[in-house]
Structure 1
Amino acid sequence: MLYFINQKGPFTEGIFGKSPSIKSCRALKKKLNCGDTVNLNEEPILVIASVLKDFLRNIQGSIFSASLYDKWLDVIDQGNEDDKIKATQRLLDQLPRANVVFLRYLFAVLRNIEQHSSSNQMTAYNLSVCITPSILHLPNSGSSELGNFTKKISFIQFLIENCLKIFGEDITCLFGEMSVSSDNSDITDITDNSEKVAVIKEQSLESEPVRMTMFYKKGQLQYDAMTSSRMGPSTDLSTVF
């Protein structure tokens, strides 16, 4: 899903912000939950983005870990940019390995979208407004989080704007070095890394239906071997894909 959003999202106005058909979202989630083979190339990108947000929102304890919630919010109150980056990296060290891997891919996508904000109208701030409720929250907190909403948005915006320094500049190559046209019809792999070429070929928009399984219930997040060196112990998340 992230791969498809990374390809089409940068040239989709209002990606993560516009609300797609609820019926279409339910239909896609049903197919994923049933383990059906899904060709995401045939699904509207706004529907894919909405289902991803739903997945993120239902990760048990949140992708940032509820136990660290207050510490994440404290990051934005640190002194200068370097202090904020170092504080963020220290907290990433405390997250389970699967969470860090997923966050690297997620913020690689968000950065790519933000880099094309002149086309999609999704600046780092706009993206943070749309994605924050799904990734940084306390379970069953209700209205108690409203007072922290502005701080949370500022923190996620900071992560998007500084993700290369935080997660490493190699996150720009996590999906392969691609050239993408604005109509999404001309996708060319230009990477020289044979391992990455294999990944891109397997998940190409031109290929057979994408091989993925996604369950909206407890399970362990299966992750790629190409990961950050900043990894803690593994964990159980609310999906497998």
Structure 2
Amino acid sequence: MLCFINQKGPFTEGIFRKSANMKSCRILKEKLNSGDKVNLDSESVLVVASVLKGGKDFLRNIPGSIFSSDLYDKWLAVADQGNEKEKVTAAQRLLDQLPRVNVVLLQYLFGVLHNIEQHSSSNQMTAYNLSVCIAPSILCSSNSCSLGLESNFIKKVSLVQLLIENCLKIFGEDITSLLGESSTSCDNSENAAVTAQQPLESKPVTVIVIYKKAQLQDNTKTSSGMDPHSHLSTVLKVTED
């Protein structure tokens, strides 16, 4: 899904902002959840983007939040830091406290958002516009995730905008190639949203994002202290070659 959006989204006006056909979204979700083979080339990119970010779908449906609900207040506090350099440093420190699989998924997600933002003259989606659309789906406390509440909206938008605009500094210079044609193929196999191979922390890894409901551990230790497979085993699988 991320690969498909990365290819089509930069040239689609209003990607993540424009509403998609509700029936088409429901049918796509049913196919993905049932394990059927899905040919995304026959789908509207607006539908795919809506399913990815939707209030009851993949991103918001990750228990514990991709940013970790335990760190929720600390992430929001990044927006209160002095200058941009201090904000970037604070964000990097918080990333180090996330499980490795969370960081990998964030790398791919923000790689896509950065690519879309780079074509904002065509798609009308600046970093701010993207942040308004995506922030409520990826930043939430344990209560707001389950209840669908959108508190601290301004701070959420400011943080996501910061991450998009500074993603090369925060996530690494190679983030722009993670979903490029040379590093991945959009193979819509059963349940697979993204399959790619890319070095991470100087080690070759295979990343598979699976569209299935699964629980993220609310454990904020670094990856060096735990088995990464225990966090998102059916949603994001990371293996070292």
Tell whether the structures are fold-level matches, with TM greater than 0.5.
yes
Instruction: Give the shorter-chain TM-score range.
Output: 0.7 to 0.9
1:240 aligns with 235
Q: Residue by residue, what CA displacement relative to the aligned partner does 1:74-98 show, whole Å, maximum 9, x if unpaired?
A: 1111122221111111110111111
Written as runs of structure 1 = structure 2, the 5 A alignment for 1:59-78 is: 59-78=62-81
Instruction: Give 1:114's aligned amino acid.
Output: E
- Structure 2 CA distance, aligned partners of 1:238 and 1:133? 24
2:35 aligns with 35
Contact kept? 1:60, 1:237, Cα under 8 Å: no
Change beyond 3 A, Cα 1:214–1:120: same
Q: Residue by residue, what CA displacement relative to the aligned partner does 1:26-61 show, whole Å, maximum 9, x if unpaired?
A: 100100111000011111100100111120010011
2:60 aligns with 57
Is residue 114 of structure 1 aligned with residue 97 of structure 2? Answer: no
Instruction: Give 1:149's aligned amino acid.
Output: F
User: Quick one: which of 191, 198, 213 aligns to 1:213?
Assistant: 191
Describe the SS at the equivalent of 1:110. helix
User: Quick one: which of 181, 200, 206 aligns to 1:228?
Assistant: 200
Cα deviation, residue 143, structure 1: 8.0
Give the 4+ runs in structure 1 shifted more than 6 A. none
Cα deviation, residue 228, structure 1: 3.3
Cα deviation, residue 124, structure 1: 0.4
Structure in which a larger fraction of residues adopt strand: 2
1:23 aligns with 23
Aligned residues: 208
Instruction: Give 2:174's aligned amino acid.
Output: D
Cα deviation, residue 145, structure 1: 4.6
Written as runs of structure 1 = structure 2, the 5 A alignment for 1:123-162 is: 123-141=126-144, 142=147, 145-146=150-151, 148-162=152-166
> What's the % identity of the aligned pairs?
65
Structure 1: runs of 5+ lacking an equivalent: 177-188, 204-208, 216-221
- Structure 1 CA distance, aligned partners of 2:234 and 2:136? 18
- Structure 1 CA distance, aligned partners of 2:26 and 2:100? 30
Structure 2: runs of 5+ lacking an equivalent: 203-221, 237-241
Contact kept? 2:99, 2:231, Cα under 8 Å: no
Q: Residue by residue, what CA displacement relative to the aligned partner does 1:59-81 show, whole Å, maximum 9, x if unpaired?
A: 01110000000000111111222
- Structure 2 CA distance, aligned partners of 1:93 and 1:14? 33
Q: TM-score, normalised by structure 2?
A: 0.79
